[in-house]
Amino acid sequence: MKKDLGAVPAVYPMPVLMVAAYDENEKVNVMNVAWGQICGMDKIILFIGKGKKTWLNIKASEAFTVALADTKHMDAADFFGIASGNKIDDKFERTGYHASKSDKVHAPIIEEFPVVMECELLEFLHTEHVDGIVGKIVNVKAEESVLSENGKVDPQKLNALIFDQFQNGYYVTGEKAGTAWNAGMELMKK
């Protein structure tokens, strides 16, 4: 029997995305965003409220990067989520992390995170119920250490963090349970 839990954000898992952009002085800011998702083969949407430091930076620079946080860098990833760039001027510097300029878009790449998407701003969405930033993914960079033999990102090597909104926990991905576009093929034959 199912028990009523009320109106809670019951999507699991959620990604742990590190969104980085430059401000008007080329200063790096990074924000932890769990409310984001791929919305096309070359598009990503991030649900970031208007007025956040990262929102303002993306508006000014018209570009951003999105990195996948991993277990090795969980402490900084969490810090990027609990510290506000509007209130803590040295937010990025406190971590001791390193940034380099993307050669594809006008945005920083945080070197410590193993996979990063380089994105151009496509549009801001604002409705009565949703604020979103849509970006075009122009390139993805990945450390060789997280690639499989076929040159693609291997989730078992990546150890990407996932966020659990039920218990406010971070978990790790990795174990393969099946093959997409194959696990349900037997039902297609009925």
Average of per-residue pLDDT across 8-29: 94
**Tell me, what's the pLDDT at 190?**
80
Exposure string for 120-152, b = 16+ CB within 10 A, e = fewer: bbbeeeeeeeebbbbbbbeeeebbeebbeeeee
Average of per-residue pLDDT across 142-163: 96
Statement: residue 9 has pLDDT above 90: no
110 pairs with which residues across the strands?
Answer: 99
Here the tokens at position 149 are 């033999």
**Tell me, what's the pLDDT at 188?**
86
Task: Report how far residue 126's alpha carbon sits from residue 118's, in angstroms, rounded to the nearest whole number.
Answer: 23
- DSSP structural state of residue 101: E
The more confident residue out of 184 and 21 is 21
**Type of residue at 173:** T
Question: Within 13 Å of residue 36, how many CA atoms lie on the same side as its CB?
Answer: 24
- Spell out the domains of the chain, with CATH numbers in brackets: 14-188 (2.30.110.10)
Here the tokens at position 118 are 């380089």
Assign residue 103 a region (left: φ > 0; alpha: ψ between -120 and 50; beta: otherwise): alpha
> 């509007």: which residue's tokens?
86
Q: Respond yes or no on whether the N-terminal peptide bond of residue 155 is cis (omega within 30° of 0).
A: no
Task: Output the average pLDDT for the chain.
Answer: 94
Average of per-residue pLDDT across 32-60: 94
Statement: residue 151 has pLDDT above 90: yes
Which of 10-24, 99-113, 153-167 reaches the highest mean pLDDT? Answer: 99-113
SS3 145: helix
Question: Within 13 Å of residue 108, how many CA atoms lie on the same side as its CB?
Answer: 25
Statement: residue 174 has pLDDT above 80: no
Tens-place pLDDT, residues 63-122: 999 999 999 999 999 999 999 988 999 999 999 999 999 999 999 999 999 999 999 999
Which of 86-95, 133-142, 178-187 reaches the highest mean pLDDT? Answer: 133-142
Here the tokens at position 50 are 């208007």
